[in-house]
Structure 1
Amino acid sequence: MKTMQEMAPADFQKLIALVLADLTIRRTLLENREQEVNQEMRSLEKDAELEDLDNQIQAIQADYHHYRDFVDPNFKIDLDQYYRGMK
């Protein structure tokens, strides 16, 4: 296993960008599930499911805000474009 000191600053920023993208996707999926639950489940089941989803969304949001603090505003990467260019 490599240590943090062996990571280049650009690699660290890319890692942060990936983490934030992943957390955004996870939050969106959970929010979509919340909407589905609101439309399809009965009252008792709905309340328990919504509480669980809300707890997960809050945890993801806390991580997102924590990791966002590490973003270097001068480092720009478009992950979609980056991965399209790899061959």
Structure 2
Amino acid sequence: MGRNVQTIWARRFNNEKSSYSGNFKASVIEYMHDKKLSLFQTAIHFGIPSDSTLIVWKRIYYEEAWKNVNRVDRKSEIKF
């Protein structure tokens, strides 16, 4: 059993919670898509304790991408 798999099982057993940035979540989903990996393979690669976490990230990623595709760009209304 590889080190990442052991780490994942230890986190599941100990119920350790992790916090991930939005950029990290997006990069994980993009990596999974680019490399054509399964949710489980991606979770192991990144040391994420549960592949079900990636299901949520993937759903949000594609929902947000779809919203941005349909969004009208109104630069005059953007406030910094």
Larger Rg: 1
**Higher helix residue share:** 1
Of the two structures, which has the highest relative contact order with CA contacts closer than 8 Å and spacing of 6 or more? 1
Q: When the two structures are superposed, what TM-score results if normalisation uses the length of structure 1?
A: 0.33
Taking structure 2 as the reference length, what is the TM-score of the superposition?
0.36
